[in-house]
Every structure is written in structure tokens, then in C-alpha cells.
């Protein structure tokens, strides 16, 4: 769980089997539920945790909630899903597919409702990084396509402004 992350009361995180990674600045609203393991009720398997595992159809996979992603109230995120950098999931949504960076989704199942303003969000992230550094907080460097951490350390640039690659320094 990253710095500046908010997990509201009554949020349910079930990650003991597949794991859950929550990036810095992410937010999970009240009653959101995140499951890294779910049962398949459609493929002719028995269900119930008391039934031996070989008779059940279970999907297990890590969940990544990237930096600055927002999960709305009473939404459910299923196993193996990535919610991308600065993506937003509306309230009461079922997240059964990958949510791309900066994408806004809602519904059951989720569908695209729009896109967030990427340039503005990256500017605000740069300001947060500056303040974090001043407070002695080391935020991971993230790929802006996947939202996944790629490096840590001073002097590394988190995004690819002007075509620079991750970790490169601008010319003097």
C-alpha cells in the first residue's frame, strides 16, 4: 500500500491468495471490495470453500490498483485485474476487465464513460512528488502506461515527457 493512499472504512480487501498492490495516492471508497480469488460458477464446478479445491473452479490472480486510481463506493474488483494509473471506477461497478490508465469506467460490468485529463494529472503528480521528496517520502517511479513501479531514486523521471525513456535525464 503506497503513501498518500486512502482506504475508507468498510472496504474489504481479500488478497491472501493472489495478492493486492495499491499504488500511492490511490483511493478506495466505502464498501468497495477487492478479491484476488473468485470462484467460477459457470463452468461446471462445485463452489464453496469447504469443498476440496480440485472440485472447484477458482480464478486466482494479483490485483494492481495503480497510483492515483480511484475505486468508487460499493464497487467490486475481481481477481487478476489491473486498474491503471489515475483511472476512475464509478460507484456500484463490477470491474471484470483491465481498466486502462486515465480511463473512467462504470457499470455492471464496467464500460468506458470517458477519460481523465492526463496532462493535468501528471502535473499534479509532479507536484505531489516534489512535496513528498521535501517530506522525505520516496515514491516509486511508475510507467505511465501500466502504472506499475519501474524504479526508485532521486533524479529519475517518472513519465516520458518529450519522448524520453523511463529513467533518462533531460539534456542540459
On the question of a cis peptide bond just before residue 110, with omega within 30 degrees of 0, the verdict is: no
What value does the mean pLDDT take over residues 47-62?
Answer: 89
Q: What pLDDT is recorded for position 76?
A: 98
Q: How many angstroms separate the CA atoms of 25 and 55, rounded?
A: 40
Q: Are 8 and 32 in contact (CB under 8 A)?
A: yes
Strand extents, DSSP E, the chain = 6-7, 12-14, 20-22, 27-28, 33-35, 37-39, 58-60, 63-65, 70-71, 76-77, 82-83, 88-89, 94-95, 103-106, 111-115, 141-142, 149-151
Radius of gyration, alpha carbons of the chain: 18
Q: Are 141 and 125 in contact (CB under 8 A)?
A: no
Residue of higher predicted confidence among 151 and 41: 41
Task: Read off the C-alpha cell for 96.
Answer: 471484470
Mean predicted confidence (pLDDT) in 92-109: 97
pLDDT confidence of residue 149: 67
Q: Which residue has the higher pLDDT, 137 or 42?
A: 137
Q: Under a CB-based contact definition with an 8 Å cutoff, are residues 106 and 127 in contact?
A: no
pLDDT tens per residue, range 8-47 = 999 999 998 899 999 999 999 999 999 999 988 888 889 8
| Minimum mean pLDDT range among 30-44, 83-97, 131-145 | 131-145
CA distances from 56 to 16, 38, 47 (A): 18, 10, 6
Q: Provide the residue count of the chain.
A: 172
Cα 71 from Cα 88, distance rounded (Å): 6
Amino acid at each position: 500500500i503506497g503513501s498518500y493512499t486512502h482506504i475508507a472504512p468498510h472496504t474489504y480487501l481479500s488478497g491472501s491468495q493472489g495478492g493486492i498492490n495499491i499504488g500511492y495516492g490511490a483511493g478506495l471508497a466505502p464498501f468497495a471490495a477487492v478479491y484476488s480469488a473468485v470462484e467460477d460458477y459457470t463452468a461446471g464446478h462445485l463452489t464453496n470453500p469447504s469443498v476440496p479445491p480440485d472440485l472447484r473452479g477458482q480464478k486466482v490472480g494479483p490485483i494492481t490498483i495503480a497510483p492515483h486510481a480511484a475505486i468508487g463506493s460499493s464497487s467490486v474488483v475481481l481477481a487478476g485485474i489491473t486498474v491503471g494509473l489515475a483511472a476512475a471506477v464509478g460507484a456500484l461497478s463490477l470491474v471484470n476487465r483491465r481498466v486502462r490508465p486515465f480511463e473512467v469506467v462504470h457499470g455492471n460490468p464496467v464500460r468506458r464513460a470517458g477519460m481523465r485529463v492526463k496532462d493535468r494529472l501528471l502535473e499534479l503528480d509532479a507536484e505531489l512528488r516534489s512535496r513528498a521528496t521535501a517530506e522525505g517520502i520516496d515514491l516509486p517511479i511508475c510507467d505511465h502506461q501500466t502504472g506499475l513501479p519501474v524504479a526508485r531514486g532521486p533524479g529519475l523521471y517518472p513519465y516520458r515527457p518529450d519522448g524520453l525513456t523511463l529513467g533518462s535525464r533531460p539534456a542540459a
